Structure 1
Amino acid sequence: MNAGLNTDAMTAPTQGPEQQPMTADEVTAFLSRLVTPVQETQELPLFEALGRVLAADVMSPLDVPPHDNSAMDGYAFAGSQLAAGAALELQVVGTALAGKAWQGASGPVKPGQCVKIMTGAVMPAGLDTVVPQEFTKPCQGQGSDCITIAADTLRLGDNRRLRGEDLAKGRPALRKGELLTPARLGLAASLGLKTLSTFRPLRVAYFSTGDEILSLGEPPREGAVYDSNRYTVFGLLSRLGCQVIDLGVVRDDPALLEAAFRTAATQADAIITSGGVSVGEADHTRTMMKKLGDVAFWRIAMRPGRPMAAGRISSKKSTESASGAGTTDSFSYEKESTGDGAVLFGLPGNPVAVMVTFLAFVRPALLRMMGASVLPAPLLRARSLEAIRKKPGRTEYQRAWVSTAADGSLNVKTTGSQGSGVLRSMAEANGLMVLHHGQGDVAAGDEVDVMMFDGAI
């Protein structure tokens, strides 16, 4: 079985002309059963692991921090000397610097004494509290070797970091399935780890279909449009950390389509196409999908992005070069057999519908295939600045701009025409207003859910 494909879940929901469109939740549920994580792992240096998915739990080999230390530049002392309503005078008997333990010339610090201490320095034995330097004053009539702490300025234990407070030795520091973010790489480095075990990158092949699609560099012609979908999908996949296999634009020719599907299924874990999945399409894409695999074609109760296909495409082993293979404007790579097929996501042809269906359905499925245990990003609540017409019975994803109001709450407004081919309104958006299946009209001032792009686009 190909990595990322759950053959036990291939009984896809099918639809006849008389059946109701599937809900967005039904599509999400099916795709979660369709795919399984890749299994191959790679041990990577930290500088190469950003964006990858952790393949095993990381147990902390040490305590972090490794000792009690100061969280402030100030003076360390025994906090038991603090008394409610009373100031405290302390004699300064030395300085503790970061990077080495303090050793007093006259032995342990005694009651009535303190040590000047730098941030990160080891707390001297018997001391448990730090007063920030700016909270002290010189003692009345004495030199700089005596400080006064005003009454009720701090409490016992303030400004001290405890040994193992961040991470305790032998406890989980990072979990399998976590995406390796900059913060998590820093955490691994703080443990002294040079490498991490990660799942290999997901290989995703992509091509656009249709005789009306122009590749960049081709001269304009009547009835044709330049292909924007390949570039938005390339960006979406790259942001996700996938290894993208670009198969260019494939014409409406059965032989070329079959070659492209076979090449993609042999090389990749997943295939994404745009166009050719609507009922009544004049091209051969739907026919070829049915011929080569187990594919369901859906009408989804959503806007934009009503048509979609999902399933699997079978592959045949081959060692030939896969440069072009009947496509135009594609990159060259060598075929590498990955098993007996690939998961297929057949997306609509309209540019905005491609991005919305990717964000709503394909991205979560690909994250699961990558081995990520990532929960869906939380929807935020924002106040609509305009009235919006909405029919119950479908989920709508309105391109929107989310901003912060003077009171700190979120406002949201659409970015113009919501036609599925209006790419400009997507480029000007920073999120999607999600109007749910059962939801009706939205009045100005109503709160709605918003899905932030957060770097996905």
Structure 2
Amino acid sequence: MNRPLKSLDDALAELLAHAVPPTATQAVSTFDADGRVLAQDCVSALHVPPQDNSSMDGYAVRRADVPAAGRVLPVSQRIAAGSAGEPLQSGTAARIFTGAPVPEGADAILMQEDCEALADQGSVRINAVPQPGQWIRRAGEDITRGAVVLARGSRLSPAELGLAASIGLHVLQVARRPRVALFSTGDELVMPGEVPPEQMRPGAIYNSNRFFLRAMLQRLGCEVTDLGIVPDRRDATVQALRSASADHDLILTSGGVSVGEEDHIKPAVESLGRLDLWQIAMKPGKPFAYGQIPRAEGAAHFMGLPGNPVSSFLTFALLVRPFVLRLQGVQDVAPRSIAARADFSWPKADKRREFLRVRHNAAGGLDLFANQSSGVLTSAAWGHGVVDNPAGQTIASGDTVRFIAFSELLE
């Protein structure tokens, strides 16, 4: 009996319901926190900037002292960044530099291009009438004291690290990295470097999935244990799963999630725990498996991806990636999409939701890779992303389509 196809959205919702982040957290240096996920809010203990400061090299003045251009004022002090000036005397100007605190009493800054230092260097001619607050950065303009600068669950990028440092945080509390065990199944698989191409036996193929899956996991901040290629035997598969479940949060496999006689993942997982085999209404990437293997404390998650490389690549990007992010406490796990113009035709609708590999062209539209087979990994290397095409939908050249960049799916 054929199983009903599960929608991608339903499959993802079911997966995310199981993705409970571990309670353990780590304190790491802000220098080393790129890509990590915050386990607690970052709250500012100060204003940024901490006081009014100049955004220009120039002169600080009282506007009342410069009613018209051409006014000459004596220079009463010099204020550099990192120093504090004296209150500005009425009828004088202060030489000031970018980032320096604005002296008490000054209410505008004139950039040096609008001023003329006179020969004696003791006075300055102001050649423009200042506006209220001109070129003054106000205290707290960027961040106010008590504000939540970065929220729990934020994934840290270089900009966020700089923001954390700007409020004085040299250590950040982050989620523990997910521990993932990775292995492939299939006696047909050969590792590059083990056998040269001219000596490959009939039916053998190089294991490409292992390389991109490991790289994608590492980009997501996982600690990856690579268990290599497990032979197509029930006992070997059971042993690999039992060993991996003891100290990993997730076990990820590629291949062997069908129901053929040589596909041992299903009975092996079921002998240790539970397994759901799903037929996802997506193309490529129909077969997918999720289960759990109990251990001393809780259970290890299991995910089985299809063996065809593009199917494996896209099911990881659309199902495993959001699951792994949610395990770290990230709430917004959906990839962002944009509207784009299709410069191609796709006249035959499919009953499944399709992900078509495309790339940008010089005219601002999208070109389609000629061969959309699930085994053609060239399409993923060539493309800039995918068109998320709904089930039953044809595409005519010039249509607006939903485009998801690979940068969103590999982030």
Q: TM-score, normalised by structure 2?
A: 0.91
**What is the deviation of 1:217?**
3.2
**What is the deviation of 1:250?**
0.6
Find the partner of 2:216 among 220, 236, 261.
236
Across the aligned residues of Structure 1 and Structure 2, the Cα RMSD in angstroms comes to 2.4
Letter in structure 2 aligned against 1:421: G
> Corresponding residue for 1:53?
37
* Distance in 2 separating the partners of 1:88 and 1:189: 43
1:270-293 residue CA offsets vs partner (Å, 9 max, x unmatched):
111111112446322222122222
1:296-338 residue CA offsets vs partner (Å, 9 max, x unmatched):
11111111101111121234x6xxxxxxxxxxxxxxxxxxxxx
Find the partner of 2:161 among 175, 185, 191.
185
> Corresponding residue for 2:136?
160
Residue 309 (structure 1) aligned with residue 292 (structure 2): no
Letter in structure 2 aligned against 1:20: P
Residue 292 (structure 1) aligned with residue 236 (structure 2): no
- The number of aligned residues is 405
Question: Secondary structure at the residue paired with 1:237?
Answer: helix
Maintained 8 Å contact 1:276/1:284: yes
Find the partner of 1:348 among 282, 293, 306.
306
- Which aligned pairs between 1:300-379 and structure 2 lie closer than 5 A? 300-315=280-295, 339-379=297-337
Question: Secondary structure at the residue paired with 2:94?
Answer: strand
* Distance in 1 separating the partners of 2:270 and 2:207: 25
5+ residue gaps, structure 2 = none
* Distance in 1 separating the partners of 2:117 and 2:190: 81
* Distance in 1 separating the partners of 2:133 and 2:333: 37
Distance 1:89 1:43, change over 3 A: same
> Corresponding residue for 2:384?
430
Letter in structure 2 aligned against 1:37: P
- Which aligned pairs between 1:410-425 and structure 2 lie closer than 5 A? 410-425=364-379
118-127 or 425-434, larger mean C-alpha shift: 425-434
Q: TM-score, normalised by structure 1?
A: 0.83
* Distance in 2 separating the partners of 1:192 and 1:428: 43
* Distance in 2 separating the partners of 1:149 and 1:390: 70
* Distance in 2 separating the partners of 1:357 and 1:278: 15
Identity over the aligned pairs, expressed in percent? 39
**What is the deviation of 1:141?**
11
1:355-379 residue CA offsets vs partner (Å, 9 max, x unmatched):
1011111100110001123342320
Letter in structure 2 aligned against 1:359: A
* Distance in 2 separating the partners of 1:230 and 1:216: 11
Question: Secondary structure at the residue paired with 1:365?
Answer: helix
Letter in structure 2 aligned against 1:433: V
- Which aligned pairs between 1:92-171 and structure 2 lie closer than 5 A? 92-93=74-75, 94-103=77-86, 108-111=88-91, 113-134=92-113, 136-138=114-116, 145-150=123-128, 155-171=131-147
> Corresponding residue for 1:198?
174
Distance 1:79 1:262, change over 3 A: farther
> Corresponding residue for 2:351?
393
Maintained 8 Å contact 1:308/1:347: yes
> Corresponding residue for 1:66?
50
**What is the deviation of 1:74?**
2.1
Maintained 8 Å contact 2:56/2:98: yes
Maintained 8 Å contact 1:89/1:139: no
> Corresponding residue for 1:275?
255
**What is the deviation of 1:203?**
0.3
* Distance in 1 separating the partners of 2:118 and 2:156: 54
Maintained 8 Å contact 1:101/1:122: yes
Maintained 8 Å contact 1:92/1:116: no
186-195 or 120-129, larger mean C-alpha shift: 186-195
Distance 1:304 1:187, change over 3 A: same
> Corresponding residue for 1:262?
242
1:187-236 residue CA offsets vs partner (Å, 9 max, x unmatched):
22222222111111100111101111112333321101111111100000
